[in-house]
Structure 1
Amino acid sequence: MAKLIALYKTPADRNAFDAHYFDKHVPLAKSIPGLRRYEVSVGPVASAKGESPYALAAILSFDSFESLQQAMGTPEAAATTADLQNFAQAGVELLVFDSKDV
């Protein structure tokens, strides 16, 4: 499976962030063709050393890296990416990779 991980930095107004994220952004992201699974963190996002600058981690799963790349070229993915400016002013890191079970 291929993964897209979004690490959202801690916003100034967490309630406004959560409201937009769950009411608007998640439905947009769930419309992306080829998306197989959408997970989000619950509670604090910590590092191995303790606190981190992140408020939320999201993991989106696709069948393959090729299907992830194809999905990112769709209008649904473009709308989801454009929506980041509406609530993720503190910043977001997007990581993509292919994975395998070991």
Structure 2
Amino acid sequence: MTFRIAVCYGKPENPAEFDEHYTSVHIPLTRAVPGLTEFTWGKAASVDGSEPPYYAVANLYFADEQALKAGMVSPEMRAAGKDLRNFATGGVTMFTQEEQSVR
């Protein structure tokens, strides 16, 4: 089992500015969060060709619930959270999840 934070970004006012800021500023801020074991992100596309509800989704993985909780209250996570106002003009939806492999 792992624990993750999912960050779902709404369509930004300026996608090119979002992409530039996200890759050059926000990713380095987020990678500094203590306890982070994996960090993925990608732009969303719908299966049926319609506009997806999110522009991009990021996943921050932690080994266990304790690591997730510690990471969430860290100064590094606060810095990443404050940075959202600099590029996430389409809004942000976040949630945590305990993931289980179902192979």
TM-score past 0.5 threshold: yes
Residue of structure 1 equivalent to 2:4: 3
* Structure 2: distance between partners of 1:95 and 1:70: 16
* Structure 2: distance between partners of 1:74 and 1:50: 38
Q: Are the counterparts in 2 of residues 6 and 95 from structure 1 also a CA contact under 8 Å?
A: yes
Q: Report the 3-state secondary structure (helix = DSSP H, G, I; strand = E; otherwise coil) of the residue aligned with 1:90.
A: coil
Q: What TM-score comes out, normalization by structure 2 length?
A: 0.89
- The answer to whether the aligner puts 1:79 opposite 2:72 as a matched pair is no
Q: Are the counterparts in 2 of residues 8 and 57 from structure 1 also a CA contact under 8 Å?
A: yes
Residue of structure 2 equivalent to 1:53: 53
Moved over 6 A (4+): none
Post-superposition offset of 1:53: 2.5
Q: What TM-score comes out, normalization by structure 1 length?
A: 0.90
* Alignment deviations for residues 59-97 of structure 1 (CA, whole Å, 9 cap, x no partner): 111001221111111100000000001100210101101
Greater shift, 50-59 or 69-78, is seen at 50-59
- Give the 3 Å change call, closer, same or farther, for CA 95–12 of structure 1 in structure 2: same
Q: Aligned partner of 1:45: which letter? A: A
Residue of structure 2 equivalent to 1:34: 35
Structure 1: state its 5+ residue gaps. Answer: none
Name the % identity. Answer: 31
Residue of structure 1 equivalent to 2:91: 91
- Give the 3 Å change call, closer, same or farther, for CA 72–47 of structure 1 in structure 2: farther
Structure 2: state its 5+ residue gaps. Answer: none
* Structure 2: distance between partners of 1:45 and 1:22: 19
* Structure 2: distance between partners of 1:47 and 1:92: 22
